[in-house]
Structure 1
Amino acid sequence: MARVIEAPPIDEEETQRIYEWIDDIPLSRPKRNITRDFADGVMMAEVIKHFYPKLVEIHNYPQAHSVQQKVTNWNTLNVKVFRKMGFQIARTDIDNIVNCNPETIERVLKVVQDKINEYKDRKSEQETSPVVQEARLQGLARPKAQAQGQSEVRVQPANNALREKEQVISELKETIEIMENKIAKLEQLVKLKDSKIQILTNKLQAAGLS
């Protein structure tokens, strides 16, 4: 289960290091005002993709001006990207980011930077784990055995199929969460429109009576 993190405060020195870190990352838009630049989540998606291209599909994050679409982009990042890295951004931080509240994105970027480093370390440990090394040795030994005339028995481990099913289930759950968020937003819009229609109806009725 990914832990929800509320970004803690950072000092001026840490803030400056975050600016320098971002300046070293190639992004699709020029960096003018970091508070506004990152409000729609697109540049955050590009930051993650810079380090881990397979984690991010940029087409999932359209540039946005409305608060609703900005929140949708950040929710998608939370579900499809951050959760796979072992954390999620708190809703209060997302609200502050999309509303361009000062200093929030710097704090969140610091959290993301730390988690990128942790994720990198985990990947490195997995690559150097005894299980992975043993699998590589077996993979190297197999052609040699074939050259010696030994028959190779191909076995499809059950856990491979299980992992594939779990991945499919995980992706379906992510899609459901995103759709539920969109449905909730649409329901809010419908209620708002119904309320406006009722107000206009009441005004018309009042005007007719007068």
Structure 2
Amino acid sequence: MDRELNEEELQDLFAWIDKIPLSRPKRHITRDFSDAVMAAEVVKHFFPKLVDLHNYVPASSTQQKLSNWKLLNRKVFSKLNFHVPEETLKKITLSTAGAVVPVLSALREKIDKKLEDTNNNMLVKVEHAVKFYSAMDPTFQQILKEKEKAIMSLMETLEVKSTCTHP
């Protein structure tokens, strides 16, 4: 999170964020993300069950902003194997220039990793099911093959959507 992004990486990150529907327009990234609400919305976009948005109150007070970020760190980021140090959180809540960008970049990497792991787990389950059911009668095997094709097609669709939102 301490690494500074080059111009291309920065533009790529902003383009990625622009593709995510957020509750407020993005005007100044340092201020927009200072209360953690939009960061929670970013995670919610990819993992709807991971975030309860009603827990994150739009705020202008530093204390409420910090409270939102700490909650996000504890309840959500931890499930992505991600943690933002308190000193960084304080800088973000004070809208310190450059503080939130590396965090958003690292968050994007964690989201990508979790999406990839989820897709790999689905593939393993399909492979286990195929092995298990392969000993069954031919009619059932045909039905299973059709279902497997449908699952693979859906996974490809997920990959395409993921690629569209993560160039």
Say if 2:74 is the partner of 1:79: yes
Counterpart mapping for 1:142-161 below 5 A: none
With 23-32 and 9-18 compared, the bigger mean Cα shift is at: 9-18
Q: Percent of aligned positions with the same letter in both sequences? A: 41
**Structure 2: gaps of 5 or more residues:** 138-167
CA 140–59 in structure 1, closer or farther in 2 if over 3 Å, else same:
farther
TM-score normalized by the length of structure 2: 0.74
Moved over 2 A (4+): 132-141
Residue 138 of structure 1, CA deviation: 8.8
**Structure of larger gyration radius:** 1
**Helix, strand or coil: the match of 2:40?**
helix
Q: Distance in 2 between matches of 1:65 and 1:19?
A: 23
Q: Distance in 1 between matches of 2:132 and 2:47?
A: 26
CA contact (8 A) 1:7 1:111 kept: no
CA 137–8 in structure 1, closer or farther in 2 if over 3 Å, else same:
same
Say if 2:52 is the partner of 1:57: yes
Output the aligned Cα RMSD. Answer: 2.2
Q: Distance in 1 between matches of 2:128 and 2:52?
A: 30
2:121 equivalent among 122, 126, 146: 126
Equivalent residue, structure 1, for 2:98: 103
**Structure 1: gaps of 5 or more residues:** 1-5, 145-210
CA contact (8 A) 2:22 2:41 kept: yes
TM-score normalized by the length of structure 1: 0.60
Aligned residue type for 1:33: H
Q: Distance in 2 between matches of 1:19 and 1:63?
A: 21
Aligned pairs, number: 137
Residue 136 of structure 1, CA deviation: 3.9
CA 11–136 in structure 1, closer or farther in 2 if over 3 Å, else same:
same
